Amino acid sequence: MEQKKKVILTGDRPTGRLHIGHYVGSLRRRVELQNSGLYDKIFIFEADAQALTDNFDNPEKVRQNVIEVALDYLSAGLDPARSTLFIQSLIPELCELSFYYMNLVTVSRVQRNPTVKTEIQMRGFSGESIPVGFFTYPISQAADITAFRATTVPVGEDQEPMLEQCREIVRRFNNTYGDVLVEPDILLPDNKACLRLPGTDGQAKMSKSLGNCIYLSDSADEVVRKVKTMYTDPLHLQVSDPGHLEGNTVFTYLDAFATDEQVERLTAGAYPTLDEMKAHYTRGGLGDMKCKKLLTAILNETLEPLRQRRREYEQDIAGVCQILQEGSMRARETAAETMDMVRRAMRIDYFQTPEFVEEMKKKYS
Ligand code: TRP
């Protein structure tokens, strides 16, 4: 038997520039996975149709961010020669697949999806006033994943309910129509500090509306400015006071970004490891400014290669558009293959083979 191919699929809604929370939470990992050589295929896509489920009245926002996010992808090191980068709405097969999946899911099952529940609350939809498109996006997300026969979906923990729902749809489909779809595994971020990076103000989440993000496209000066005003430890009033690491955003970011090599080099040997720096901070005698200086240096060192690649791609936006267009064409071929398998399994592949015509001829003869 042919060995099951390892296929990665993941994506983002193009509703804004990506920030360093996206970088440590997902982008950095995707680039590592891409470069690991362990995967037969890698699909990374912009979920523009999904973004429209709650931005249908502001399509311009989605339109403007498609290239912005593509630049974030490319500057982070996603390589169009190794990863297929594409746009969701350019794959009409996804709609077709979703349409059949809708038969396999009940309203109450979607209502029980914790991510949908929270989002309904956040958006203030009450009772039955939820737009159908928004309500069914977990079903369309199952189509996104299965159309490419993905085995591995690297996403944040907030997407766990989506993956569970997808796996249920796969099992339901395979039980009903035959073993056609691949059940995907979720691949969660490996570093605790990377699960969710707080905002620079210490709020639980980086979000554009809170104005507490550091963007991948921020200049070195912007990073300096943003780190300067970062939330630390409100009890650490004097340098000599003992400091607290818990909830201290500077140290959370250091956990997510710093390597001991960087800490040693950028503190000129004062601290051979991040742990020793933390110990000094906890004891007292290490000021916030010094910690912020180190964090700024590490962030800028990390982001500099991204900025450089971004500048190059910005010189060739037509080329970036072409990458997305060609990626979408290639992605569509895979989705169309899956669609053929699905139609065959569902026995609605009427004119693909002579079988149906022959059968009907016999029946009516
Ligand atoms: N829901 C995901 C998000 O908001 C984006 C997404 C859409 C996705 N379809 C997907 C992620 C399929 C992984 C696989 O971030």
Q: What is the CA radius of gyration of the chain?
A: 24
Q: How far is the CA of 258 from the centre of ligand 1 (A)?
A: 28
CATH code, 7-196+316-364:
3.40.50.620
Q: How far is the CA of 314 from the centre of ligand 1 (A)?
A: 26
For residue range 76-117, list pLDDT tens digits in order: 999 999 999 999 999 999 999 999 999 999 999 999 999 888
For ligand 1, atom 5, the nearest C-alpha belongs to 12
Those residues with Cβ within 8 angstroms of residue 146's Cβ, 6 or more apart along the chain or in another chain: 97, 166, 169, 170, 181, 182, 184, 338
Average pLDDT of every residue of the chain:
94
Instruction: State the fold for domain 220-313.
Output: Tyrosyl-Transfer RNA Synthetase (1.10.240)
Which ligand 1 atom minimizes the distance to the CA of 141? 9
Q: How far is the CA of 10 from the centre of ligand 1 (A)?
A: 6
Determine the Cα–Cα distance for residues 304 and 287; give it in Å rounded to an integer: 26
Contact in structure between 56 and 89 (CB atoms under 8 Å): no
Q: How many CA atoms lie within 13 A of 115 on its CB side?
A: 17
Determine the Cα–Cα distance for residues 13 and 360; give it in Å rounded to an integer: 46
Domain positions in the chain: 7-196+316-364, 220-313
Q: Is the CB of 46 under 6 A from ligand 1?
A: no
Give this prediction's pTM: 0.94
Determine the Cα–Cα distance for residues 136 and 52; give it in Å rounded to an integer: 12
For ligand 1, atom 13, the nearest C-alpha belongs to 10
Q: What are the C-alpha distances in Å from 140 to residues 110, 136, 249, 364?
A: 12, 7, 36, 39
Which ligand 1 atom minimizes the distance to the CA of 156? 15
Overall average pLDDT of the 250-273 stretch: 96
Smallest CA-to-CA distance from 257 within 11, 50, 27 is with 27
Determine the Cα–Cα distance for residues 99 and 57; give it in Å rounded to an integer: 23
Q: How far is the CA of 87 from the centre of ligand 1 (A)?
A: 12
β pairing state of 7-12 and 41-46: parallel
Q: Is the CB of 47 under 6 A from ligand 1?
A: yes
Overall average pLDDT of the 243-253 stretch: 95
Q: How far is the CA of 252 from the centre of ligand 1 (A)?
A: 25
Determine the Cα–Cα distance for residues 184 and 9; give it in Å rounded to an integer: 9
345 pLDDT above the threshold of 60: yes
Overall average pLDDT of the 321-332 stretch: 98
For tokens 């400015």, the residue is: 225
